[in-house]
């Protein structure tokens, strides 16, 4: 099954988040940027509203 670009990007960023979360604090820029990238992929797929995007990235509530 071939994934769309956003779905593929989301999977890659989730793998990165898993790695970064093990090695860095949750407030580290690498962790935050990766959370943003996941949330943005979800937003582009239509699975997140702008308010949810803010909540997941800024408030750090994204759980994979």
- Which 3 state secondary structure label does DSSP give 50? helix
Mean pLDDT by 10 residues, the chain (64 residues): 76 92 91 86 79 68 53
pLDDT of residue 16: 93
pLDDT of residue 63: 54
Q: What's the predicted TM-score (pTM) here?
A: 0.72
pLDDT of residue 19: 96
Whole-angstrom Cα distance, residue 32 to residue 62?
10
Q: Are 48 and 56 in contact (CB under 8 A)?
A: yes
């Amino acid at each position: 099954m071939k994934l769309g670009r956003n779905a593929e990007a989301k999977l890659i960023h989730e793998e990165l988040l898993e790695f970064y979360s093990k090695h860095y604090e949750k407030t580290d820029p690498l962790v935050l940027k990766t959370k943003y990238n996941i949330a943005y992929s979800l937003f582009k797929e239509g699975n997140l509203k702008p308010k949810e995007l803010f909540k997941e990235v800024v408030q750090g509530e994204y759980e994979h």
